[in-house]
Amino acid sequence: MRYKTIAEQLDMKPVVDVVPYNVDYSRQLQASVTDKELIFEYPTVYLIYDRAASRRGSKAPQFKVYVGETSDIERRTRQHLEDDPKKRTDWLALSKSEHAQMMVIGDYYFNKSLTLDIENRLMMYLLSVESISQLNNRRANPQRKYFMSDRFDAIFDGIWYALRMKRPDMFPEQREVENSAIFKASPFHSLNAEQNESKLKIFDKVETALTERKAKALTGDATVIFIAGQAGTGKTVLLSNLFYDLTGSKLVSPGSVYLLVNHEQQVKVYKAIAHKLGLDKDQADIVSRPTHFINSRRGKPRVDVVLVDEAHLLWTQGKQSYRGNNQLDDLLKLAKVVIIVFDKYQILTTEEYLDDKTVRRLEDGAAARGNRIELLDQERMDANRETINWIRSLVIGGTVATIPDDESYQLKVAQSPEGLYEKIKLLDQQNDHGNASLSRMLATFDWPYVDKKKPADDDYWRVKVGHWSLPWNLQLKVSKQETKRNKELAWAEQAQTINEVGSTFTIQGFDLNYAGVIIGPAVKYRDGKIIFDPKASKNKKATNKRTWKGQKINVANELLRNELNVLLTRGVHGLFIYAVDAALQAELLKAAGTTHILEDNNGLSRD
């Protein structure tokens, strides 16, 4: 039996007081506060906020917000009003604003460790809120275990609800926030033990490399720090956390940290994060694609640190405005330290291709200096080890084993594409709060799609199975207002995309709550093994031959395998699959038994 705390017994809820942010704040607090002891004697968390300029074409209010915590709200606010304006223009503007306000949060559960974590969690959530255009705080590390840390989630939920009652325009439904792509990639996520240990090690390696390079006047290629891990092991969260902390670290020179990624949808997310946190204030291209960085930095002094998310997407041949031969090789000549996140099973196109020998040499070179970091703990999928191994065995091993039972993860085989789509729509409606949720249809690239060109015999390029069809991604038309809003959103976050089918080109690097995957005709089951048929694929970026070390080689089987791997590892809470190949579908249904089949009664199972 768990005994209730005193606060629970007395049904004590968080207190939120809102007062104008000016020299009369103390008098206003004293007059309005419902529990003086809680606000003036206990630690508190506070927010200072003001209206910001609305985005072009939007009438919705925008806010700039500062989040902090203190053991003395009167003394801390006095410092903000009297001292901070002398050092920073943003604090000067707040102190002079006639509309700035302050929210002070008190709770009988608060202690120093807890308020630090509440502050951090508020930063994580507010970063993802559409109406928040600027977000600031002092940099603080999340805490580990402490008294009442096991109650943290429930305490935070109560605080968010109390804040929402005061300002729903700043504090939307939690589910809506948690479904955003920015939330998934936020630098304010608490790191697990493995990630935290890796982060500390990487900081030490960066410091050692920069110090050694300066002391010995080294001029060779950059030091490589190689972060390895399968899909969903938390590599992106670790990199985002490193990026944020390095930009404010004394280890590096101001304006000498850059984040690069070759995935257009992920660039949107990182740019939004950098802008809201003010990281791009003096460094507009702090987030960019590798080609832009390489072309803009040639002939200039080396930067201190470059972080590359999804480094397996770096090009290994010239393309478009990139005139080099290997983007990673070029980055090593433009920076002092290059931190890369890499998973060879997520290389998707011939222009990104590296053979296993080259990947091993890259990893071994980093490992020889103690600079290879591997993440093993699964962070994306809320699934047990048996479920993770089942998916990996299917993709990498080519075997279809019996689907394991998993109380926390739904893994089911659909009997028709119609039933699969209806299930995904139902799940999306259950999670929807006015914006796009994160349940989406995906498919292997086995149906034609030509960008910026319409098919001759249809309204859209479509994924077609029998009489059922749905448009491929990035095609459905929306209103002008929605078009403007969608420019800042990843594909899966756009409301109309529930009626489209995503591909690796729009979903790689992102999480979905539930993924419905159509495995197209390029994936077959023959003689007891899964095989890949390049002739049935429409993905020319995977099936075209690649010139490698002077020879034309065919790497389609590897790349089509990796395409399937990316699609099947997107779902956080569930994966529903349907195979077009009759033999593979029959084997999947056999593996599903009676408990893992998505019942297709009029196209929908309600389980």
CB atoms within 10 A of CB 368: 9
CB atoms within 10 A of CB 315: 21
Q: Quote the CA–CA distance of 167 and 185 in Å, as a whole number.
A: 25
Residue 345: closest CA among 566, 562, 568:
562
Specify which residues 340 forms β-bridges with.
226, 308
Residue 300 · residue 293 · CB < 8 Å: no
Cα distances (Å, whole numbers) of residue 438 to 93, 122, 158, 480: 38, 22, 24, 23
- For residue 30, give every residue at least 6 positions away whose Cβ sits within 8 Å of its Cβ, in sequence order, or none: 36
CB atoms within 10 A of CB 32: 12
Q: Where are the beta strands (DSSP E) in 35-160?
A: 44-52, 62-70, 101-106, 132-136
What is the per-residue pLDDT for 607? 41
Q: Are strands 597-598 and 410-414 parallel, antiparallel or unpaired?
A: parallel
Determine the number of helices (DSSP H) and then strands (DSSP E) in the chain.
22, 23
Q: Quote the CA–CA distance of 15 and 104 in Å, as a whole number.
A: 8
Residue 13's SS3 state is coil
The domain ranges of the chain are 6-172, 193-375, 385-603
Q: Quote the CA–CA distance of 82 and 124 in Å, as a whole number.
A: 28
Residue 500's SS3 state is coil
Q: Quote the CA–CA distance of 565 and 568 in Å, as a whole number.
A: 5
Q: Quote the CA–CA distance of 439 and 514 in Å, as a whole number.
A: 5
Q: Which long-range contacts (CB under 8 A, 24 or more apart) does 490-496 make?
A: 490/181, 490/265, 490/266, 490/268, 490/269, 491/265, 492/181, 492/436, 492/438, 492/440, 493/179, 493/180, 493/181, 493/435, 493/436, 493/438, 494/436, 495/435, 495/436
Question: What is the mean pLDDT of each successive set of 10 residues along the chain, which is 607 residues long?
Answer: 46 86 90 85 95 71 95 95 93 94 94 92 95 86 72 93 95 90 92 94 96 89 95 92 95 96 91 95 95 95 97 93 95 97 95 94 95 91 94 97 96 98 92 64 97 90 97 93 83 94 93 96 98 98 93 96 97 96 98 93 44
Architecture in CATH of 193-375: 3-Layer(aba) Sandwich (3.40)
What is the per-residue pLDDT for 3? 45
Residue 132: closest CA among 123, 145, 141, 143:
123
Q: Which residue has the tokens 């707040």?
A: 94
Largest CA distance in the chain: 80
Radius of gyration of the chain (CA): 26
For the whole model, what pTM was predicted? 0.89
The DSSP string of 186-236 is -TTSPP-HHHHHHHHHHHHHHHHHHHHHHHTT--SSPEEEEEEE-TTSSHH
Residue 344's SS3 state is helix
Q: Is 504 exposed, middle or buried (0-12, 13-18, 19+ CB in 10 A)?
A: buried
Q: Which residue has the tokens 């050692």?
A: 208
What is the per-residue pLDDT for 55? 64
* Alpha-helix residue ranges (DSSP H) falling in 301-355: 327-334
- Tokens encoding 471: 């448009």
Q: How far apart are the first and last CA of the chain?
A: 33
* Alpha-helix residue ranges (DSSP H) falling in 281-402: 290-297, 327-334, 356-368, 385-392
Enter the DSSP assignment of 324.
S
Enter the DSSP assignment of 489.
S
Q: Where are the beta strands (DSSP E) in 244-325?
A: 257-260, 287-288, 303-308
Q: Are strands 512-519 and 523-526 parallel, antiparallel or unpaired?
A: unpaired
Q: Is 597 exposed, middle or buried (0-12, 13-18, 19+ CB in 10 A)?
A: middle
